Structure 1
Amino acid sequence: MIDFLRGQVAHLESEYVVLDVHGVGYRVFCPNPYAFSAKNQETVTVYTHHHVREDAILLFGFSTRDEQKLFRKLIEVSGIGPRVAMGILSGGNPDTVVAAIHQENISFLTKLPGIGKKTAQRMILDLKDKLEGMGGTASLFDPEPAAASAFQDGNPGWPEAREGLKALGYTDMELDRVWSKLKDQVSQDEAVDSVMKKALKLLYAG
């Protein structure tokens, strides 16, 4: 199993990053590839999950061990495959996702990409006792007022996307500036992961 890769970012796309490790380019699918955009020409560490199935061998990558660990727990839940788990991590940082599971916050979980009520209930049932020591102390915002406020600005998924971007190290000032550019480019029903990726692209472009 490939547990991590260390190298330079050679290429970025909306779903993956290509990491140059001693002249070999590894395509690594990431929740938010643009999180690595500011690290061009620097040596970066990408924590990975090596996924093997009959028709493909894939690498999924993460910027932290917590993301990697939560991803591996998520794909143990019936109905959650690697792609859905990636969507969950793109829509919420590990602390808030773990907190939602511990607090049995179905309202929050069902706002994550690809998660319906039954899957949210399975996440709580299967994982609540398996996430000890994984953060989860985050104070979750009340989704209804936040969503209503964001809806007036164009998209109800922005508060969750903003929380994820803050977890990546972006400041309130940077996020306010990028939202002023982004709010006219997203639809009212656009998914959180899509909003986040568009925001990261704008942040990367400066």
Structure 2
Amino acid sequence: MYDYIKGVIEYVGPEYIVVDNGGIGYQVMTPNPFIFSAKISEQVQIFLYHHVREDIFALYGFETREEKALFTKLLNVTGIGPKGALAILASGQVDQVVKAIESEDETFLVKFPGVGKKTARQMILDLKGKLENIVPDYFPNLFNDGKSSARTDELDEAAQALKALGYSDKEVQKVAKVLQQEELTTEQYIKKALQLMLK
């Protein structure tokens, strides 16, 4: 699997760009190729997604890892293929798309080309709660309600550990207020949370 390519932009077209790397021109499909127009003959770094099917062997490229990550997530949604995912990324910013999915804003999602009500609903069903690693700043801290705490890092680590154990955000939030009242180590927070959850 390719992660990225560094090379010189040789061509910008309506659907793809060509990146020259070591004398080989790589055709890379991007959400909006024309944003690279000002970078022709310049060296760039493009994050790649390598799409392989029986009849397709294609490279999809993105300016940021966040774009690439959201593209990959969108491909897991029933009814959305590479072209549909590219159209969504071309029409909206990553944080806008994530915010719309998390807030179940179907009205916003159906504005994207090829996205009807059914697909918008599927996007929400498949992706809500699974995009935290793409735009972490958008998501409220599970254990920190905005108040400063000397134990914020330990609380964060405890929250991640509880989620790794299979507890949902909702379940973690239920015990969050109690845990915020105490200053403990990560391990102690986890033990305390488990005790509260098992009551």
1:54 matched to 2:59: no
How many residues align? The count is 138
Counterpart AA for 1:118: K
> Which string of whole-angstrom CA distances, capped at 9 and with x for unpartnered residues, describes residues 156-193 of structure 1?
xxxxxxxxxxxxxxxxxxxxxxxxxxxxxxxxxxxxxx
Structure 2 counterpart of 1:71: 71
Higher RCO structure, 1 or 2 (CA under 8 Å, sep 6+): 1
Counterpart AA for 1:126: D
Structure 2 counterpart of 1:181: none
1:27 matched to 2:13: no
Measure the CA separation in 1 of the matches of 2:87 and 2:45: 21
> Which string of whole-angstrom CA distances, capped at 9 and with x for unpartnered residues, describes residues 38-94 of structure 1?
112221011110000001200011111110000000000111111100010011010
TM-score, reference length from structure 2: 0.67
Structure 2: state its 5+ residue gaps.
140-199
Measure the CA separation in 1 of the matches of 2:28 and 2:50: 10
Q: Displacement, 1:134?
A: 2.4
Please give the root-mean-square deviation of Cα atoms over the aligned residues, in Å: 1.4
Counterpart AA for 1:7: G
Counterpart AA for 1:91: S
Stretches of 4+ aligned residues off by more than 2 angstroms:
133-138
Structure 2 counterpart of 1:110: 110
TM-score, reference length from structure 1: 0.65
Counterpart AA for 1:84: G
Matches within 5 A, 1:178-193: none
In structure 2, the residue corresponding to 1:119 is in which secondary structure?
helix
Matches within 5 A, 1:133-152: 133-135=133-135, 137=138
